[in-house]
Structure 1
Amino acid sequence: MITFILKRIGYGILTLFIVISITFILIRLIPGNPIERMTEELPEQTRLQVQEQYGFNEPLRVQYKNFWRDLIFEQDLGESLTYRGRKVSDTIANYAPISGRLGAQALLFGVSFGVLFGLFAAFFRGKVPDYGVMFLSILGISVPSFVFAALLQYFLAIQWGLLPITGWGTLQHTFLPSLALAMGPLAKYARYMRANCLDVLNQDYILTAQAKGASQFRIIRKHIFRNSILPIVTLLGPQVAMIFSGSFVIERIFSIPGLGSYFVSSVTDRDYTMIMGQTIFIASLYIMSLVVVDILYALIDPRIKISGS
């Protein structure tokens, strides 16, 4: 297991290096740079001094070398080019927990109810509950999250006055955006769980367990649930990283001061340092989640054996 984990971490570091390198090169291959746009009305000598200060006067290979030097030896992601004096690492540390909380609540809600609805639909296949769950799944997959956000704001906040329409700070402020963000994962997990359960229910060992007199609860917990949940875990890994990058529109709609607004603005403003910092953060989360998923495979299903070979 230790050898496997170390090998996966090594692959992850290599993947992260490739992602960072490609992102660094691509954003700098675009003609012009943000310093030129911000200093276009300044004298030529001043523009050159500002470009020299940020290192944009250097060749690309020198900028690339300096970037890795600062990242590895000084653990410095640099300062934002748009928000002067604000370090990228401080921005991530301050605003990522807000996006993380919103995404974690949405993911918890989507996975819990998606798995529950999928089990429910499988046991009532071809009946009204099954059709209801499938309708909800199609609705959740086909309708964008910002449409659900607008509907929730209109009915629950404006018409009924049950929850605040925008803002952040209390648990009540998190309910509507989390629910809007959870509709897509809920629909996806419900469909996968239903299909997996139907496949497991047709297996011979389920009939054997029933013939031995095992209770329905034991069959569901020991056989159906554990064998059906494995594909859900596969989907759950990448989704963990997406909780930080998938809530940008929702954060804008509900005026949530999360990391999403900074990511969107950094792309439009071509804030190189902010783009690189958030790319490193999200890519690291994504790679770590995949390693955790591989380890969970063996814990959930003992039939999966991990060896050094």
Structure 2
Amino acid sequence: MKRLLSRLLEALITLWLLATLCFMLLRAAPGGPFDTEKSAPPEVQAALAAQYRLDQPLVAQYGAWLGDVLRGDLGPSFQYPDYTVNQLIAQALPVSALNGGLALLLALALGIPLGVFAALRAGKWIDRGLMLLAGLGLAIPKFVAAPLLVLLFAVTLHWLPAGGWGEWSNLVLPVIALALPNIAYCARLTRVSMLETLSADYLRAARARGFSETRLLFSHALKPALLPVVAWLSPALINVVTGSAVVEQVFGIPGMGRYFVQGALNRDYTLVLGVVLVVGALIVAINTLVDALRGWMDPRLENDA
């Protein structure tokens, strides 16, 4: 319970610092949410500023916004006046979660078997070929991979739609674009960890007792070899979240990343802050779950903590 309360306090302080820093950076950026209304009469501009508290001192704006957040109200959107930030995030979060979750599952489903297979064939041509492909997957950024996938599978081959949302076929290319670098990194990480595990003393002793290689792999080597992969899940998820902004823009997906980019470009302060807070809370929760999973897989970590 003491450790849980400590983690909760750390999470709250982290989210407060994140929100405060983002608030100050947005206000320090040039321009404002209603710059296009400069041609409007002064009384209209004053009414807009009063409606969104932009006529108040910065400290008062921050205090009012923080009070609303503590009550669960992320405020109205400046650029989508018919919606609150809570409504926009409620619409976008399931979309981004579906894309990101499928991309991470695909990365694990392909990366772990490829890494294990490469480790079992270490030094052979198949191992070198797989690691070369993994290096290429890491080298190609998402903003290059996504348009290339559209060009190949949508424009040239006409196999899949180039964008949009609503059909399962719309998920294929975005999920692949998000998963590609994670597949590559997962395969490389699994290979290195498996090679290290296979050379451990306790596995040599098990071999001397006559255990089969299959039993050694699945009963004794796989679980400890996957510990670094489990630890990598946190940065992998952050990578998926940050990469979704580019992928959702390319494929026209109404997710969190797209709202974040549009909100930043339009100086929609409340929308950007809302997305940052929700994503930050998700990352903190995921880190806690990953730590718990690592502790279950290796009790020594819990004892050290």
Q: Does 1:39 align with 2:37?
A: yes
| 2:104–2:182 Cα contact (<8 Å) kept | yes
| Distance apart, 1:109 and its partner CA | 0.6
TM-score calculated relative to the size of structure 2:
0.94
Partner of 2:64: 66
For the structure 1 residues 241 and 41, does the alpha-carbon distance in structure 2 shift closer, same or farther, using more than 3 Å as the test? same
Assess if the C-alpha contact under 8 Å between 1:241 and 1:289 holds in 2: no
Structure 2: unaligned runs, 5 residues or longer? none
Per-residue CA deviation, residues 111-158 of structure 1 (Å, 9 max, x unaligned), is 221111111111101102101111111110111223333333333334
Aligned pairs for 1:82-101 (under 5 A) are 82-101=79-98
Gaps of 5+ in 1: none
2:31 touches 2:267 (CA, 8 Å); kept in 1? Answer: no
Contact 1:238-1:289 at 8 Å conserved across structures? no
Amino acid at match of 2:57: P
Using the alignment, how far apart are the partners of 1:44 and 1:189 within structure 2? 57
CA contact (8 A) 1:103 1:247 kept: yes
Distance in 2 of aligned mates of 1:50 and 1:187: 49
Specify the alignment match of 1:248 in structure 2.
245
Could you list the per-position Cα deviations for residues 78-132 of structure 1 after superposition, in whole angstroms to 9, with x for gaps in the alignment?
A: 1111111211111111111111111111111112211111111111011021011
Contact 2:178 2:240 in 1 (8 A): no
Give the corresponding residue for 1:26: 25
Q: Does the CA contact (< 8 Å) of 2:100 and 2:178 recur in 1?
A: yes
Which of residues 273, 276, 300 is equivalent to 1:276? 273
Taking the aligned partners of 1:98 and 1:229, their CA distance within structure 2 comes to 29
Q: Distance in 2 between the 1:76 and 1:268 partners?
A: 23
> Number of matched residues?
305
Residue 160 (1) aligns with residue 157 (2): yes
Alpha-carbon distance between aligned partners in 2 of 1:48 and 1:155, rounded to the nearest angstrom:
51
What are the residue-to-residue correspondences of 1:1-309 with 2, within 5 Å?
2-35=1-34, 37-73=35-71, 75-306=72-303
Superposed displacement of residue 235, structure 1 = 1.4
Residue 131 of structure 2 aligns to a residue in which SS? helix
Distance 1:112 1:81 in 2: 41
| 1:138-191, Cα deviation, whole Å (9 max, x unpaired) | 110111223333333333334433333322222222112211211100111111
- Once the two structures are overlaid, the 10-residue window that deviates more, 64-73 or 271-280, is 64-73
Shift of 1:31: 4.2
Three-state SS of the structure 2 residue aligned to 1:80 is coil
* Alignment-mate amino acid for residue 52 of structure 2: Y
**CA RMSD between the two structures:** 1.8
With over 3 angstroms needed to count, the CA separation of the structure-2 counterparts of 1:204 and 1:89, relative to structure 1, is: same
Q: CA deviation at 1:306?
A: 4.2
- CA distance, structure 2, for counterparts of residue 173 and residue 230 of structure 1: 34
The answer (yes or no) to whether the contact 1:167–1:254 under 8 Å persists in 2 is: yes
